[in-house]
Structure 1
Amino acid sequence: MAKDLFYTLDLNLIKTFMVLMQERNMRKASLRLFVSQPAISQALQKLRNHFDDELFVKVKTGLEPTPFAELLANDITPHIDGLAGAINRSHQFDPAEVNNKIRIALSPITMTCLPGFLFKQLQTLAPNAQLELVSWSNSTIEEILKGETLFGVNYELILSNKEIYTPKLLDLKGRIIVRSGHPITKPHVEPKDLAGYPIASLISPGWNDKFSYASELLTEMSIEHTIGFRSEMVTAILDVVRHTDMYLPHSNLFPVEQYPGLRALDITINGQPQMKSVHAHMHVRNRNNPLINWLTDLIQQGLMQQGDK
């Protein structure tokens, strides 16, 4: 049975062969491949034994390929170029080439500032993509693990599953949202200023399903309070705040300028702003995915734009 020259060949030797064909010089080949000249000599000897041909002979100017080497190089060059192109393209990303559905889960705290920004950016930069935004739910992590949802944006969750990667996108500054005619009139408040006013608590599934972060904070400080209303629906919370003296604990992500009749108050504790971070949540296998990296950069940009207002 004839020897199978392909499957018995160390393909690393082909790279050495092609560089020798291009350089016709052992020293230059070793510099390009970042190996020693003896290593190039050893590789060439293995190639000679494999193909039973001299491949290159020494001449005054360096190395001269044999007719077999020239024929071999001519035959394999298109395949090597194709392989190189495929590998290099895999590290290049052009959003204009994205033509599939992009499903992203957003927590309630980002729902008032990200959808319009994301849609406009994708419409411009990735016009063939189909953006699908869904509310973060208790099943979102499982959907990310299954690949049904590309990734999500939420507060950092305490997860036991090591398959979820959660890079931080932004630090948020705490703010209180109240109606324009609310009895609290000053532009920034301390927790004691909120005593007696009910909390309109925005539920972020998977993060504060069974508690109110603001309520826990006020309890620790022995400040009188009640939870007047809870909902995952931002529109429902805002409607209640418009019609009552309840306040919505939120952040500098809330685009108060888009909601006539509402005011944003900065909140500090002992003179320091209350800070929370928002994170992307993705499968660890996608941490270097070019599409997800591009989208997280885009989302970070959108969050920073709103947060700076």
Structure 2
Amino acid sequence: MKLFRHFDLNLLRVFVTLMQERHVTRAALKLHLSQPAISHALKRLREGLDDPLFVRIEQGMQPTPRAEALLPTVVQALALLEQGLAPPASFAPATSARHFTLATTDYFEEVMYPLFLSRLLGQAPGLSFSIELITPDALDEGLKSRQVDMVVGLDSRVELPTGVVSTPWLDEEWVCLAAADNVQVGASLTLGDFAALAHVELADISGLGLGPIDGCLRAHGLSRRVISRNLNYIAAARVVALTGAIMTLPRHMAERFIALLPVRLVEAPPELGALTLTLIQHELYAREPATAWLFDELRAFAISQTASGWPDSCP
């Protein structure tokens, strides 16, 4: 053990090459080193192993019994090191049966996931997915233990645990929905008018705390009255269609409901800003080939949808 702590593993490559070539000059040429460098390495090997290892003969160098005995072990050790230090095999989506678990929002699941999955299965038919709710546990222990591969679509303003990597993924615009016959709400809203109206919102079953809308109102000394907290967007939109309340949601989600329900779009107060959605991974696994491939596919999909004006979104 004491020897190993001070032993230069690069010397083992010199040893194996000398065993193959049985000649210092030929070993130097093969390793692209100078002859003095090989001679110095051999001196260090002899001192470290307390054995001459090679003796000069007329045809070159003859290995000692100790050198002969060492060769299989050294060759095997170098092969194991090379195998262990090699980069991981690339991900082959066309033949993979990998199962991915995504923790995500209603927005991604409704607006993007069906089309994304259909396109993905075109090049990777053996893949499968599970969709889970974004929770504090999913963001922390779920990502750390690989029970969750990626968190998709979380607001960039949410505070994250240590050890995770958040990447901006997609920018969305906040809009409001109002009933088609709601004459109390115009085509756009000031922040004061917005705060004065009754609201429908999604219940915070994620446990991630104050959302961006209430945070904005609080920063301006305002608050709102929420008359209904619903578990999903469609139920909330139905409440809006039958009451004088409004709801605030990403534009492309809101557009889904125009053709389904008697509701209309209303421009949200500019103070609400934009909604930046993210892709979140644990830094331990961000370079794992399958996860890296999925990350790239999600980014490419978002870019393609943005560039094309979302023409391929499911109705």
Normalising by structure 2, we get a TM-score of: 0.68
2:109 is matched with 111
Distance 1:80 1:298 in 2: 37
Q: C-alpha displacement at 1:220, in angstroms?
A: 4.4
2:197 is matched with 197
1:173 to 2:148 alignment: no
Q: Secondary structure at the match of 1:254?
A: helix
1:117-149 Cα distance to aligned partner (Å, 9 max, x none): 342243123322221111223432333333322
1:3-49 Cα distance to aligned partner (Å, 9 max, x none): xxx9x985433444577879946377357xxxx87655433444567
Tell me, which stretches of 5 or more residues in structure 2 are unaligned? 310-315
Distance 2:27 2:179 in 1: 79
1:162 is matched with 162
Percent identity over the alignment?
Answer: 19
Q: C-alpha displacement at 1:196, in angstroms?
A: 3.6
Q: Secondary structure at the match of 1:166?
A: strand
Structure 1 residues 242 and 9: alpha-carbon distance in aligned structure 2, compared to 1, 3 A threshold: same
1:144 to 2:146 alignment: no
1:101 is matched with 99
User: What is the number of equivalent residue pairs in this alignment?
Assistant: 291
1:243-281 Cα distance to aligned partner (Å, 9 max, x none): 3333222224526157514444443436xx702332333
Calculate the aligned-residue CA RMSD, in Å: 4.5
1:254 to 2:253 alignment: yes
Letter in 1 for 2:295: T
Letter in 1 for 2:159: I
Distance 1:247 1:303 in 2: 28
Distance 1:252 1:130 in 2: 29
Q: Secondary structure at the match of 2:245?
A: coil
Structure 1 residues 73 and 219: alpha-carbon distance in aligned structure 2, compared to 1, 3 A threshold: closer
Structure 1 residues 258 and 244: alpha-carbon distance in aligned structure 2, compared to 1, 3 A threshold: closer
1:131 is matched with 129
Tell me, which stretches of 5 or more residues in structure 1 are unaligned? 1-5
Distance 2:264 2:147 in 1: 38
Structure 1 residues 89 and 137: alpha-carbon distance in aligned structure 2, compared to 1, 3 A threshold: same
Letter in 2 for 1:29: L
1:81-140 Cα distance to aligned partner (Å, 9 max, x none): 787567545152322343232111112343322321342243123322221111223432
